[in-house]
Chain A
């Protein structure tokens, strides 16, 4: 799979260790987590004001998305027909490389030298910025978080808060350097001023770019429109100022009607940022019409597969319901111990642990489906009820079926399962094990260094009991 090229997902374990030790990153994450969780909780609670219940609403959302996927080809055909009728062009891309090829081609045909971008995770899948730069076209990210990440030469670490891994001090140092001014001491009270500074820089780009690229939160089949959900207003600039607008999005983002879109919009902003509705919701249809003050002269939709169609009808189809709200990672204890970069590819957190192996190859992301405690905090908050732990579990099974687990793990499990099937032998072994643990504890009640589980005792003691098993003590008690 071509997408595996840049993936670092095979190095999850090593990268995770590094992230845990990064004190600056840990500070940034520990600050962000309660904000995300608290805001969503408030947003979900506010559903009651509209007489709505989260469980009921998300079951409706799930059903809408399931219906979209059941007849995906039909809705895509309708979308293409309606969008074309509004004057837009609809192109199809099999993978990320094809996306880049198409975008560069469009840019060249329109003499584009600078592109302003609104947030698009699919453009990350396609490594589009690299492809544009290689073709001599300058891509400028205009979402504030994406702008920071681009200045730093990094990739987004969160699907809706791309720079969540950065502290204010880091951003200030970056801005001072890149904007050519002396650094200052900044606190959270200075965030509006810093945003204003970025806005001034970005304004010049908005006015000079010949092309805008955005993603789409949804594609609406009945109107041939792209729906864009944003908070900063940069999306409006990107999609209306430049003469060419290219929308890049996955084929699974389609919903049949505006009514469906409205229902999903009750779930998306609340799950993402806790807002009842985002600051901007744009429905982008066709091109600039006679009498319009603004809008692109040329609109192109690039609808991308990049591994999605393979999931239809598979054990993983539920994953295609995802509406990219980020709630799963915001509630994931693993994500908030590491940040997104540890996951090694475009999508982090629980949804990434499912999508990365599916899009880049199961054999190229062996750790990710295991990088979960199975706590199901993600599944409990998912606005379209994707059973994320179940999907990770299915990937674990597939690793076993394909012989991809390490030999040591397979042998240990095999020996243990064999023993657990033989109660008499198991009892004997458990008694020996209890004695051994007790001997290691040396009367202290705890083991401080345990060669058989070094990863446990690196950060924790292992409390042990008296050296007798329950069954041993129970048998002794029964005998008079």
Chain B
């Protein structure tokens, strides 16, 4: 089984450790893991801004790079949603690209859903001493229906206890460009998320989307919380320290 890891532009730039953790998790499934060379960004920023032309160009680029693999795995619900749900819709009227977009969509998976629903391999036992709370990011949850997969995986981590926070399905206020266009509103929203995290008092908040995590961590630290760790689920599952 040939697996492509699509690391996402945000992980590439802001937190490489998530990419390496995902890489280790995929290698542990026994597949051959490739990081396709030319990958940059799935084009979601252009799509969200309403620029169809740019979104189309980047969608075609990604399809061409990623379509030669059995599965494409993405450590982000948001980028996976772009490939699975937006690409087929974006290219629906193009007779050449529509079937390719649909084929890629069917073979592309958010990391936790790949591990649980596709690979179905037993997790290489990792350890985490402490309690975590899980933030369901919007695109993963409402776009891809990812809810039980991360929890099933976290349940297998030795020493880890999951403590659900209130309103874990509520948006963190990131929203890509929204967070810099309407910073005050975005901050107000993430502040409520931080209240929920503080109330549950877990050692770490864990999620599957780096955008949300940067937003949450940024606000927690600004509020003076220096101790609650903010981790991508790949980092928790893969264990160990990267880079």
Residues on A close to B: CB < 8 A? 13, 16-17, 20-21, 26, 333-334, 337-338, 369-377, 379-380, 393, 395-400, 405, 409, 413-414, 416-417, 419-421, 423, 426, 430, 433-434, 437, 446, 453-456, 458-466, 468-471, 473-474
Distance A471 CA – B7 CA, assembled complex (angstroms): 9
A17 contacts B12, C-beta separation under 8 Å = no
Stretch from B138-146, B150-158, B198-206 at the A interface: B138-146
| A434 partner residues in chain B, CB cutoff 8 A | 13
Distance A414 CA – B58 CA, assembled complex (angstroms): 12
Q: Is the interface of A mostly helix, strand, loop or mixed?
A: helix
Distance A471 CA – B41 CA, assembled complex (angstroms): 13
CB nearest neighbor in A for B193: A333
Distance A409 CA – B178 CA, assembled complex (angstroms): 13
B20 contacts A421, C-beta separation under 8 Å = no
Q: A396-B50, A400-B49 are in contact. Are A423 and B38 (CB under 8 A)?
A: yes
B49 contacts A446, C-beta separation under 8 Å = no
Distance A375 CA – B142 CA, assembled complex (angstroms): 8
Q: A459-B184, A470-B11 are in contact. Are A420 and B41 (CB under 8 A)?
A: yes
Instruction: Tell me, yes or no, whether B217 is within 8 Å of chain A by CB.
Output: yes
| A421 partner residues in chain B, CB cutoff 8 A | 40, 57-58, 61
A334 contacts B189, C-beta separation under 8 Å = yes
Q: Which of B20, B170, B179, B188 contacts A456 (CB 8 A)?
A: B179
Distance A437 CA – B46 CA, assembled complex (angstroms): 23
Instruction: Tell me, yes or no, whether B174 is within 8 Å of chain A by CB.
Output: yes
| A469 partner residues in chain B, CB cutoff 8 A | 12-13, 16
Distance A122 CA – B142 CA, assembled complex (angstroms): 32
Stretch from B91-99, B124-132, B218-226 at the A interface: B218-226
B187 contacts A13, C-beta separation under 8 Å = no
**Beta-carbon contacts under 8 Å, B168-224 to A:** 170-171, 173-192, 214-215, 217-219, 221-222
| B178 partner residues in chain A, CB cutoff 8 A | 370-374
- Most chain A beta-carbon contacts within 10 A, residue among B13, B17, B41: B13
Q: A423-B39, A455-B181 are in contact. Are A380 and B142 (CB under 8 A)?
A: yes
Distance A398 CA – B186 CA, assembled complex (angstroms): 24
B188 contacts A20, C-beta separation under 8 Å = yes
Q: How far is the CB of A365 from chain B (nearest CB, A)?
A: 14
Distance A369 CA – B58 CA, assembled complex (angstroms): 23
B contact residues, total (Cβ < 8 Å): 65
A466 contacts B50, C-beta separation under 8 Å = no
**Beta-carbon contacts under 8 Å, B1-60 to A:** 7, 9, 11-17, 19-20, 35, 37-41, 43, 45-52, 54, 57-58
Q: A393-B50, A470-B19 are in contact. Are A333 and B173 (CB under 8 A)?
A: yes
Distance A327 CA – B61 CA, assembled complex (angstroms): 39
A371 contacts B171, C-beta separation under 8 Å = no
Q: How far is the CB of B232 from chain A (nearest CB, A)?
A: 12
Q: Which of A370, A416, A433 contacts B181 (CB 8 A)?
A: A370
Distance A454 CA – B184 CA, assembled complex (angstroms): 10
Distance A433 CA – B12 CA, assembled complex (angstroms): 11
B58 contacts A376, C-beta separation under 8 Å = no
Q: How far is the CB of B73 from chain A (nearest CB, A)?
A: 14
Q: Which of A333, A409, A455, A465 contacts B14 (CB 8 A)?
A: A465
Q: Offer 19 A-B interface pairs, CB within 8 angstroms, sorted by A.
A: A26-B188, A337-B189, A380-B142, A393-B50, A397-B51, A400-B52, A414-B54, A417-B58, A420-B41, A421-B61, A423-B37, A455-B180, A460-B190, A461-B219, A463-B217, A463-B230, A466-B16, A469-B13, A474-B20
B49 contacts A453, C-beta separation under 8 Å = no
A337 contacts B183, C-beta separation under 8 Å = no
Q: A373-B174, A455-B184 are in contact. Are A430 and B12 (CB under 8 A)?
A: yes
B49 contacts A456, C-beta separation under 8 Å = no
B182 contacts A455, C-beta separation under 8 Å = yes
Q: How far is the CB of A44 from chain B (nearest CB, A)?
A: 15
- Most chain A beta-carbon contacts within 10 A, residue among B37, B57, B142, B184: B184
Distance A437 CA – B10 CA, assembled complex (angstroms): 13
CB nearest neighbor in A for B89: A390
- Most chain A beta-carbon contacts within 10 A, residue among B16, B20, B190: B16
CB nearest neighbor in B for A430: B13
| A372 partner residues in chain B, CB cutoff 8 A | 175, 178
| B17 partner residues in chain A, CB cutoff 8 A | 465
Distance A343 CA – B190 CA, assembled complex (angstroms): 20
Q: How far is the CB of A23 from chain B (nearest CB, A)?
A: 12
Q: How far is the CB of A435 from chain B (nearest CB, A)?
A: 11
Beyond A413-B54, A453-B180, A470-B19, 16 extra complex contacts between A and B, CB < 8 Å: A16-B185, A20-B185, A21-B184, A333-B170, A374-B175, A374-B176, A421-B57, A446-B218, A453-B183, A456-B183, A458-B184, A458-B187, A459-B183, A460-B221, A460-B222, A463-B218
